[in-house]
Amino acid sequence: MFSKIFAYEIKHWLKQPSIWVYAAIFFLFGFGAMAISADILGEVSVARGSRAFANSSFNVISLFFDFNLFILFVIPALIGGSVFRDYNSNMFMVLYSYPVQRKDYLFGKFLSSLLVTTVIVLLIGFGLFIGSVLPGLNPALVGNNSILIYAMPYFLIVLPNLLIISMIVFSVVLHSRNIYAGFITVLLIYVTRRMILFVLGGTDNQFISALMDPFAQMSAFYYIRYWTLEQVNSLIVPINEIIIYNRLIWIGFASAIFTWSYKKFQLTQNNTRLSFRKSPNERHDIKRANNSSRSRITPVQTSYTFLSHLQTTWKISHYEFKAILKSKAFISLFIGSLVFMFFLLGQVNPQYTTRIQPLTQVMLLIPSMFYSFLIVLITFLYSGVLVHRDRNARLNQLVDVSPLPTWSFMTSRFFTLIKMQIVLLSVIVIVGIGMQIYRGYYDFEIPLYLFEIFGITLITLVIWAAISLFVQTILPNQFIGLILLIIFSVGLGGLEKIGIKLDIFNFNAAPRPEYSDISGYGSSLAPYFIHKLYWFFFAIILLIGSQLFWVRGLTQSFRERILRSSRRFSKPIALVFSLALIGLVSTGFVIYQSVYPEKPSLSTEELEQYKADVEPLYSPFKSAAQPRLSGISMNMNLFPQERNYNSGGELLFVNKSRKSIDTLLINYSKKENMTYSIPEAYEVIYADSILGFDILRLDIALIPGDSIYIGFEAFNTPSTFFKTNSQVTNNGTFLFSEFPMLGYPEFEITNKAKRDQYGLPPQPQTTLHPSDSSALVNTYVGNNVDLMDFEVTVSTSANQIAIASGHLEEKWIEGNRAYFHYSSTNKIRNGIVFQSGEFEVLRDTWNDVDLEIYYHKTHNFNLDRMMAGMKSTLEYSTRYFGPFQFKQMRIVEFPTPYGKFAQSFAGLIPFSEFAGFISKIDTVSKNRFDSPFRLTSHEMAHQWWGHQVVPAGVLGSRIISEGLAEYTSLKVLEKEYGKEKMQIYLKASLDQYLRGKGQGKNPETPMIYSKASEVHINYSKAALAYYKMSEYIGEGAFNSALQNFFQTFSLKEAPYSTSLDLVESIRSVTPDSLQYLITDLFETATLYDNSIQKTSVTPLENGLFEVHVDVLVSKYRSGEFGKRTFDTANTEMFEYLNGDEKVSLTSLPLQDYIEIGIFGENGEILYMKKHKISSIQNSISILLNKKPFEAVIDPNNTLIDADSKNNRRGF
Amino acid sequence: MSNLSITNLSKTYNNGVKALNNLSLEIGPGMFGLLGPNGAGKSTLMRTIATLQDSDSGSIHFDGIDVLKDPMSLRKVLGYLPQEFGVYPKESAENMLDYFAILKGISSKSDRVNIVQQVLEITNLFDVRKKNVSDYSGGMRQRFGIAQLLLNDPQLIIVDEPTAGLDPAERKRFLNVLREVGTTNTVIFSTHIVDDVKELCNNMAVINQGEVLITATPDQATNEVSDKIWTRKISHEQSQEIEQNHLVLSSNFNNDNSINIRVYSDSKPSPDFTRAEPKLEDVYFIALKTAQ
């Protein structure tokens, strides 16, 4: 019997057109994704440098995760559809009466549909493979194909996932007799997974996340997240135990549900009821036919006006809406959303170890992306439900003959969808406010909630409702409609990749309004609403389309529907259509004209050609010495309401070379309408208005030591209603000032292939080596600029305070303008910024330095931490490195649209509201960061590292500016919180380093040659290395090296400092036995592979405990492509058995000091000592007076070990 | 008066089935029975009149309304009960009727309450108005179907095979209800059960393969064949021979396994036959069989 049912089912499926559509979609998916991934569309490829192979195992498995959502939504349609079909057609009444066994029926249904789904899903892999052997791919992105590359993801991920979800969905549909319950289940699984990962988010829980992720994405990437490019391109994603456990857990879970439902299922006609209500199955009948009743009914008033149709439409939608609200499916969805939102908002910001204050803007920010997408998915699903509702209930013939215009049916569905969206959106408000109350925050800002959710988010959803209604109306199969809509919505994200960049060509796209407590929505609303108006007109056209093709009556073919639609295109509809079309075109025109007003005079290709043409002309000037900027005196006028500025002033340039200079290379910004003026007589050699670059010859050359003033004026193209053309905002402006600069401009084409194509000679390396002494004349912040005098008058509207670097000499009000005159007592480093806003000010002093924090009035949560951060850093740095150079230090808050960072300028730290101001410091939990303090101390330390010691613009510069700022910050933290707390900060740095390294495309650079872009080295690795050095040679010794270095270079001009100078300084204080550290940490990229192999403990009679710990230590250089290399033949090798597997370890020669820690049951330190390790295998014996719990090698994470999990072992 | 006139209506489906073949029919007020076997085109005809389907050619007029050109006007005066219909789950009859009343353009809430109560009373469903329609028995559900079509006080009522699958008591009750509502309107009633027509209709047509075979009142039709129906008791073995030589209208088995047959013939076919009282059923079978 089983085989008959199975065969019958398969035959049935093969006859369904939908199957073939799914098959085609999935094949095309794989095919397209692979082809695009391998640059079949061309162009972009060359510029990107080396990338992972498109058909590498890593990339293929990633692509499968991208497809996951689509696979997910096919399952209910097919697996759920297999049983639902019998219910829906009432076939079950017949079927169940046959002598069919439960086993045969259920397994026949389940396995046949699972087989069909599996085949469809396998087509993705087939598509991927075909995509990888196409002609026209970028050969640099295609590696060797092997069957394993495609089979492994199926084996580990896709097929188990399919089985798990299928079992659950099958069970749900079997018992609910409702296929939509299957879809809702899938949605809930999708959301639950998000929730699991969210709750377990953060680096510490990666192992548990990997174990618990129902889709095994975290598990698959758990072992390969740090893979280097070479590994990515050469290795197959391995089977590992986490994946196996994960799969076992979830298959077990799903099987339990499946078994339960199997046992519960009876081949009877009554539904299994989960409620305890009596089934209303008794027969209601009337006592007798009533023959005396009236045959004629009293007529009532009917009304068929447009207005009454509109009312009817509303009433129908209300009726449908109530039905949705009452349905179990929607109730579970609603509860699911509440729970999800509760976790989302309750866990605010889990990926960082800092919480954020539950401000309304924060409550609104967090759910926006994922939750809106979820509502869009639900809209897709319910648009299908609503469009097909009457047909599914077989009520359509009754409804279709009612005297109601077709638009009324269509519009009522549209209204219903919107009402449903409103209900789902209100979850944000409910949980948001609930969470604020729970956290004891009572400033609810209801208008902000309502505006953001119903004024901004809802519009987008409404437009989605229109398109999903349209698609579901056109297509006969709502499940295919659902999949196509999901693909469409996800695929929109990829439009930009294939060159469609303008929002007016990207469905429902608009610049997202950005809210900040400081600037409100600023000027971001107008462009948003004009885009949404444009898309709303588009939505109306879609709705008209839905109305024309709405299925009414028993239409047969698509041809007939087209005939009907042309008949329905009545005059009023034609009128609405024309109006919408006019609206669409005119708003589109407005957007095109006012929101994207800049039309480049040259196309990208033309500009490239131009650059190639002028390079030979300009390149002879490349090495021309230029006068150097040594002073700025300027004024800056900010107009916050108009979002404009203008500025002007004088720049002092000095000829600090040994030769006369008669040629000036002037760069100016065209965008800022910049003009310059030179009082001396000159002639123009080249005037390049395209690049904004002029070459002048002075009539009288500047002799060495001579100076020249260059005047300038700049203003932005005035901002309009739709378009802001400056960095000025209504409140909280943060503006980088621009002015003309001297020197050879950066315009040359850098891409090697492109240079060949244009016949340009190869470029020398752009960033110079620290050993190149000619490169030390310029700092890392720009050419032809030294420390300089600075003086400015800045004006803003009268209600705001304007801030710049320097000491506030004077302020005054003139009319409705406020003026501030700043001048710096000391020379400052280049980087001129202006801030302006309605600020509160917190003032304090440290010795004779004025400390000020300018903040938005409600953001007063962490001011004391930031103030403490400034003071402690001043304390530490003046004690160990050198004096602070200014009389004042300011932190000034700026709104989030500018970013979420803080940056140090001369005596001034612009600080994002999101970077510390609204952090919530958890004083209870031990794993929490004090992030405002940490960030403040880092930026504060830049006043020494970066502003007093300004490194030269060569490789390795950032390990001085960023690396030493990080080190200083760690030390300040250590002073503030004690050594025990340092582990979490060091661990975070190690994780950041390893993650950054994993993404590194090129061989790992030694620290001293790190590039500016290698953030994981400049910040994280440098912090670890310096901290380790200070641990090994002592804080005092290490800081004395830094002090020497500081004093040599502080506030000096060229030659500027390099990483080599710093390392020399450190070397000179390092004892011989530890000199290896200099090589390992700074001059090479050296990693350890340490582990504890064995631990044992023997209680002795005298109450002591004898502890044995076997540790393996090996170290290697991180060579090209992350390979383990050994730059000496003098290596040591060791082999041991791990289970049955023979493992061989190779190590560089060891003479290393490595810390071993033994901890008690409550984490207390029983033993902590550095051991000298001189071979790979080591046995350590220790006597303790307490029972040990765990042994850890390098407990403070000061060594760099890619896998620190095996560094600890219990007893 | 409300006359429905159907002129030269044709419809061929995509699969080549000719459902309506140049069909013309005049239907006046009162109950009009549409008889025909399964697949005769009854449902296609009724759905076309009910504006659910397009025809390939021909026209339908009702009371000055060109139905095919202006379906909306017809829908205002139409009551339609399809052959088969479902309902939304978990909705009471009262709620569902209220919903249909909205659809039919009754905008005032009190009007709706009023009319819903009336139609519930007419169809004898008032006592069970709070029960879910999905839990109704077949007969109750059909009466509910009548209730919903009455909401707009229709002038043209179309009911498609409403008695199929009802037990005798339910069928009787249903026909009573239909008779009451049909006295003043034009009611088209399709069925393949001849007795329904006999009991109910004052006019009828027999159609098959999309063509009208006869139109008449039931009495007229029966009268026309009086003296032409003959019956005889035969054995099972004889049946084949008899069927070859005579136009056999129907045959019924007796307890002794013999068969009573009815035959249509202008004169007595053979001495074994005796004259039989004509029945409407005979007319129906004559029409079908002579048309072949």
Query: Residues A1112-1165: pLDDT tens digits?
Result: 999 888 876 667 888 777 788 888 777 677 888 889 888 899 999 998 888 788
- Tell whether A15 is within 8 A of chain B (Cβ): no
- Residue A277: the pLDDT is 42
Residue range A254-258: mean pLDDT, rounded = 94
Strands A675-677 and A707-715: antiparallel
Which one of B47, B52, B57, B160 would you mutate to disrupt binding with A, by most A Cβ within 10 Å of its Cβ? B52
Given the structure tokens 């908002």, which residue do they identify? A345
Nearest to A393 among B88, B104, B122 (CB): B88
Compare A474 and A272 and report the one with higher pLDDT: A474
What's the pLDDT at A290?
A: 45
pLDDT in tens, B270-287: 888 888 888 888 888 888
Q: Which residues contact A406 (CB under 8 A, 6 or more apart)?
A: A547, A550, A552, A568
Distance from CA of B233 to the nearest CA of A (A): 39
CA nearest A381: which of A77, A166, A82?
A77
pLDDT of residue A274: 43
Token pair for A1111: 């540790």
Q: How many Å is the Cα radius of gyration of chain B?
A: 21
Position A556 pLDDT exceeds 70? no
Which string of DSSP letters, residue by residue, matches A689-706?
TTTTEEEEEEEEEEPTT-
A1050 vs A563 pLDDT, higher one: A1050
Buried b (16+ CB within 10 A) or exposed e, A942-978: bbbbbbbbbbbbbbbbbbbbbbbbbbbbbbbbbebee
Query: Following CA atoms A398, A403, A406, A410 in sequence, which dihedral angle do they give, to the nearest 10 degrees?
Result: -70
Q: Say if CB B157 and CB B147 are below 8 A apart.
A: no
The single-letter code of the amino acid at B252 is: N
Q: Using CA atoms, how far apart are residues A312 and B107, in angstroms rounded to an integer?
A: 7
- Smallest CA–CA separation between B128 and chain A, in Å? 7
pLDDT score at A87: 80
> Which residues have CB under 8 Å from B18's CB, separation 6+?
B10, B11, B12, B209, B210
CA dist A432 and A443 (Å) reads 12
Contact B180 A295 (CB under 8 A): yes
Q: Which residues pair with A663 in a beta bridge?
A: A697
Please report the pLDDT score of residue A45 as a whole number.
43
Q: Compute the average pLDDT of residues B7-32.
A: 90
- A400 CB neighbours in chain B (<8 A) are 51-52
Average pLDDT, chain B: 87
Q: Above 60 in pLDDT, residue A44?
A: no
| A289 touches B176 (CB < 8 A) | yes
pLDDT at A47: 40
- Is the separation of the CB atoms in A397 and A551 below 8 Å? no
**SS3 for B256?**
coil
For residue A12, give Cα distances in angstroms to A112, A113, A478.
10, 10, 19
Query: Helix (H, G, I), strand (E, B), or coil: what is residue B69?
Result: coil
Taking the C-alpha atoms of residue A284 and residue B128, their distance in angstroms, rounded to an integer, is 7
Give CB contacts under 8 A, 24+ apart, made by A1131-1136. A1132/A1175, A1132/A1176, A1133/A1176, A1134/A1175, A1134/A1176, A1134/A1177, A1136/A1093, A1136/A1112, A1136/A1177
Tens-place pLDDT, residues A760-790: 888 877 778 888 888 888 898 888 999 999 9
pLDDT in tens, A729-772: 999 999 999 899 999 988 888 888 788 888 888 887 777 888 88
According to DSSP H, which parts of A770-900 are helical? 863-880
Contact A130, A31 (CB under 8 A): yes
Nearest to A394 among B85, B90, B148 (CB): B85
Q: CA-CA distance, A2 to A527, in Å (whole number)?
A: 62
* Confidence check: pLDDT of A390 > 50: yes
Which chain A residues are Cβ-neighbours of B143 within 8 angstroms? none
Out of A277-286, A368-377, A673-682, the most confident range is A673-682
Angle in degrees, CA A906, A907, A912, rounded to 5: 95
Q: Is A196 exposed, middle or buried (0-12, 13-18, 19+ CB in 10 A)?
A: middle
Predicted local confidence at residue A982, as pLDDT: 85
Residue A56 has pLDDT above 80, yes or no: yes
Determine the residue among A312, A385, A401 to mutate to test chain B binding: the one whose Cβ has the most chain B Cβ atoms within 10 Å: A401
User: Over chain A, what is the mean pLDDT?
Assistant: 87
pLDDT at A661 over 90: yes
- At residue A712, the pLDDT reads 96
Q: Is the dihedral of CA A766, A771, A774, A776 positive or negative?
A: positive
Task: Give the gap in angstroms from C-alpha B85 to the nearest C-alpha of chain A.
Answer: 5
- Selected residues 558-577 of chain A with any CB under 8 Å from a CB in chain B: 560, 563-564
With contact defined as beta carbons under 8 Å apart, do B8 and B22 qualify? yes
Place of tokens 């320097």: A806
Flag whether residue B271 sits within 8 Å of chain A, measured between CB atoms. Answer: no
pLDDT at A287 over 50: no
The larger pLDDT score, comparing residue A734 to residue A1103, is at A734
- Tokens standing for residue A620: 């002879």
Give the three-state DSSP class for A122.
helix
Alpha-carbon distance of A466 to A486, in angstroms, equals 14
| Residue that the structure tokens 């199975």 belong to | A6
Residue A86: band (very low, low, confident or very high) from pLDDT cuts 50, 70, 90 = confident
Interface subset of A 323-382, CB within 8 angstroms of B:
323, 326
pLDDT at B110 over 60: yes
DSSP state of A800: S
- How far CA A6 is from CA of A20, A111, A170, A1088, in Å, comes to 19, 7, 16, 57
Report the distance separating Cα A742 and Cα A269, nearest Å.
Answer: 87
For A917-931, the pLDDT digits (tens) are 988 876 666 666 788
pLDDT band, very low/low/confident/very high, at A385 (cuts 50, 70, 90): very high
The owner of tokens 């005054």 is A812
Contact A97, A103 (CB under 8 A): no
Nearest alpha carbon to residue A945 among A973, A964, A972: A964
Question: At residue A76, does pLDDT exceed 60?
Answer: yes
Residue B292: per-residue pLDDT: 66
What integer is the mean pLDDT of A356-385?
87
Residues of A in contact with B135 (CB under 8 A): 280-281, 284
DSSP B146-157: HHHHHTT--SEE
A444-473 pLDDT, tens digit per residue, is: 899 999 999 999 999 999 999 999 999 999
Average pLDDT over residues A378-395: 92
Q: Which of B119, B127, B181 sits opposite A286 (nearest CB)?
A: B127
Q: Could A302 and B137 be called an inter-chain contact, meaning their C-beta atoms sit closer than 8 Å?
A: no
Q: Does A293 touch chain B (CB under 8 A)?
A: yes
pLDDT score, position A293: 47
Q: Lowest mean pLDDT: which of A91-95, A252-256, A826-830?
A: A91-95
Phi, psi of A474 (to 5 degrees): -65, -45
Report pLDDT digits (tens) over A886-903: 999 999 999 999 998 999
Contacting residues for B68 by C-beta, under 8 A, at least 6 apart: B48, B54, B55, B59, B60
For residue A1130, give every residue at least 6 positions away whose Cβ sits within 8 Å of its Cβ, in sequence order, or none.
A1149
In terms of C-beta density within 10 A (0-12 exposed, 13-18 middle, 19 or more buried), how is residue B4 classed?
buried
Tens digit of each residue's pLDDT (9 = 90 or more) over A956-987: 999 999 999 999 999 999 999 888 788 788 88
| Rounded Cα gap, residues B46 and B50, in angstroms | 6
DSSP code, position A910: E
Q: Residue A469: its pLDDT value, please?
A: 97
Lowest mean pLDDT of A200-204, A273-277, B113-117, name the range: A273-277
Confidence of residue A670 (pLDDT cuts 50, 70, 90): confident
Nearest-by-Cβ selection for A289 from B80, B99, B176: B176
In this structure, what DSSP letter does residue A351 have? T
pLDDT tens, position by position, A842-868: 999 999 999 999 999 999 999 999 999
A291 interfaces chain B, CB cutoff of 8 Å: yes
What mean pLDDT do residues A638-666 have?
Answer: 94
- DSSP assignment string, A502-547: -GGGSTT--PPP--BTTTBTTT-HHHHHHHHHHHHHHHHHHHHHHH
What's the rounded Cα separation, in Å, for the pair A762 and A998?
A: 30
User: Does B107 contact A393 at a Cβ distance shorter than 8 Å?
Assistant: no
For residues B113-141, give the mean pLDDT: 90
Identity of the residue in A291, A296, A301 whose CB atom sits nearest the CB atom of B184: A296
Chain B residue with the nearest C-alpha to that of A317: B99
pLDDT tens digits, A473-530 = 999 889 999 999 998 998 887 777 666 777 888 899 898 898 999 999 988 899 999 9
Q: How many residues does chain A have?
A: 1211
For chain B, the distance separating the N- and C-terminal CA atoms, rounded to the nearest angstrom, is: 36
> Is the predicted pLDDT of residue B86 greater than 80, yes or no?
yes
**pLDDT of A291 higher than 50:** no
- The answer for B 226-255 residues in CB contact with A (under 8 A) is none
Across the interface, of A284, A289, A326, the residue whose CB is closest to B173 is A289
The type of residue at A58 is: F
CA distance A993 to A1023: 10
A743 — phi, psi (to 5°)?
A: 135, 170
How many Å apart are CA A1136 and CA A1143, to the nearest integer? Answer: 5
Nearest CA to CA, how far is A565 from chain B (Å)?
13
Rounded-to-integer distance, Cα A929 and Cα A986, Å: 12
- CA distance readout (Å), A1018 to A19, A956, A965, B252: 54, 8, 10, 102
- Whole-angstrom CA distances from A237 to A156, A207, A218, A1204 are 10, 17, 13, 21
pLDDT at A814 over 90: yes
pLDDT digits over A979-1021, tens only?
Answer: 878 878 888 888 888 877 765 556 688 899 998 888 889 999 9
Tens of pLDDT along A305-345? 899 999 999 999 999 999 999 888 899 999 988 988 888 77
Supply the pLDDT for residue A50.
53
| Residue A349 pLDDT grade (very low, low, confident, very high; cuts 50, 70, 90) | low
Tokens read off for A298 = 């009293």
Contacts of A277 in chain B (CB under 8 A): none
- The whole-number pLDDT of residue A289 equals 43
